[in-house]
Structure 1
Amino acid sequence: MTLVTATGLTKRFGAVEAVHDLDFQVAPGITAFLGPNGAGKTTTLRILLGLIHPTAGTATIDGKPYAALAHPRRTVGAVLEATGFHPGRTARQHLLVLTTGAGLPAARVGEVLDQVGLADAADRRVGGFSLGMRQRLGLAGALLGDPGVLILDEPANGLDPAGMAWLRGLLRQLADDGRTVLISSHVLAEVAQTVDRAIVISGGRLRYSGPLDGLTADGLEAAFLRLTEEAQR
């Protein structure tokens, strides 16, 4: 069982405290990471992925900081934004570059392109992709190492209703296979249909961590607004 854990996680940028003393654990299944703009979600995800260092506290994946993982892409797949693609490369070429850099088998490229519904666009240049197609390509890259953990920032951004339904099914399948899926999202209606648990932060502070049904008695949106408004008082 692969867990994502934050303990006393704090990050300051000069006089600004973006994250304050966060404690949470993400277990197998789908967990939503929720909060208003500026709540500290992206900072927290970047700390989990070793992109920035915390001021205090620890963030671990499978009991280790990201930098200490022996095979990062086989342990964690992540999409923080649907950018970073060379517009002149095809989807297949982009993924082959990633497999080469990570020491992964090239055969995985065709498998993940099929998994995210891009097999027919494999040899199209990424510069002509829509935002939704770029989201799918980013997810394909995250899946290359067949990781036990997925960390996805706004994965439904740019997807049409059919694409969102497809994503919902894919994430559920991945979770049912025993993976730990952490998704940041502003689409509360979609979250309510998709996730098992939720973490809510506001102003960099933890407001809730637990089963989704602990937030849905009066509706997820009402609970979210109550928690985040209370944090601003």
Structure 2
Amino acid sequence: MSGGGIAVDGLTKRYGTVTAVDGLTFEVEPGVVTGFLGPNGAGKTTTLRMLLGLVTPTAGRALIDGHRYAELSEPRRAVGAVLEATGFHPGRRGRDHLRILASAAGIPYARVDEVLERVGLTDAANRRVGGYSLGMRQRLGLASALLGDPRVLVLDEPANGLDPAGMAELRALLGELAAENRTVLMSSHVLSEVAQTVDRVVIVAGGTLRYAGPLADLTHAKGETLEAAFLRLTAPPKTPGTGTAATVPTRS
């Protein structure tokens, strides 16, 4: 795999008797946008948290540029992540939030204005975050992720709360970042938007891998839309002899 990629190998997480992630193995290459898809409870968030060192795997490993997150010497410069558009102090201005992060990471303040412009938040930079819409908080989270100019971006539902214009801008930005040979991994439930944004997809359900590869190969193979392919791959197994779906335990 090229430098700066993500490698997940046999990744497993159990909580008591519940297996949230079960032997996941896939790679995310630089230079393309990869969608990380799955129904609720599929294990996506748990996988991303293990990748970012927030949850300890039961087995297997998740590597960023060949290293576990905890082994990265300058994590904010290596990987930028947005897991949720919360955690911002409501009384703090957007620019000040980024300056605090920059100071903690040893990043020049000049970079703050660069990322504010890149995510389209310059005009709102001096407003207090408590007055931001969900879409604006998403933009601020993305600016935080870009602050260290990382080679790897991990984005959980970055389109949540964006209006159509915001989604189009996000789509263009992610394409630009991939064109700079960065690794971009994004999860989303908005399959229509994913179909316009990503080059490759990783689909999980029940904590297991269902597909990893080019989007075109998935949709062209059976002449399906991404939604149709997603529903087919993530459908619970049918109960033998009944033609009905078996009940599958929910996994986080």
TM-score by length of 1: 0.98
CA–CA distance in structure 2, aligned partners of residues 166 and 121 of structure 1: 16
Aligned to 1:20: 22
Aligned to 1:139: 142
Aligned to 2:127: 124
| SS of residue in 2 equivalent to 1:136 | helix
1:105-147 residue CA offsets vs partner (Å, 9 max, x unmatched):
1111111011111111111000000000000000000000000
Q: How does 1:22-101 map to 2 (within 5 A)?
A: 22-28=24-30, 29-101=32-104
1:30-88 residue CA offsets vs partner (Å, 9 max, x unmatched):
00000000000000000000001000001100000000001101110000000000000
Aligned to 2:240: none
Rg larger for: 2
Q: How does 1:167-206 map to 2 (within 5 A)?
A: 167-206=170-209
CA–CA distance in structure 2, aligned partners of residues 69 and 49 of structure 1: 11
Percent identity over the alignment is 68
Aligned to 2:232: 226
CA–CA distance in structure 2, aligned partners of residues 176 and 96 of structure 1: 27
CA–CA distance in structure 2, aligned partners of residues 97 and 16 of structure 1: 39
Match status 1:4 vs 2:31: no
Which AA in structure 1 matches 2:72? L
CA–CA distance in structure 2, aligned partners of residues 221 and 215 of structure 1: 11
RMSD (Å), alpha carbons: 0.9
| SS of residue in 2 equivalent to 1:104 | coil
- Structure 1: gaps of 5 or more residues: none
CA–CA distance in structure 1, aligned partners of residues 52 and 180 of structure 2: 22
1:126-177 residue CA offsets vs partner (Å, 9 max, x unmatched):
0000000000000000000000000000000000000000000000000001
- Structure 2: gaps of 5 or more residues: 238-244, 247-252
2:154 equivalent among 148, 151, 154: 151
CA–CA distance in structure 2, aligned partners of residues 7 and 125 of structure 1: 42
CA–CA distance in structure 2, aligned partners of residues 15 and 138 of structure 1: 35
Q: How many residues align?
A: 233
Following superposition, the deviation at residue 230 of structure 1 comes to: 4.8
Structure 1 runs of 4+ with >2 Å offset: 230-233
Following superposition, the deviation at residue 104 of structure 1 comes to: 1.0
Following superposition, the deviation at residue 214 of structure 1 comes to: 1.8
| SS of residue in 2 equivalent to 1:82 | coil
CA–CA distance in structure 2, aligned partners of residues 197 and 62 of structure 1: 19
Following superposition, the deviation at residue 100 of structure 1 comes to: 1.0
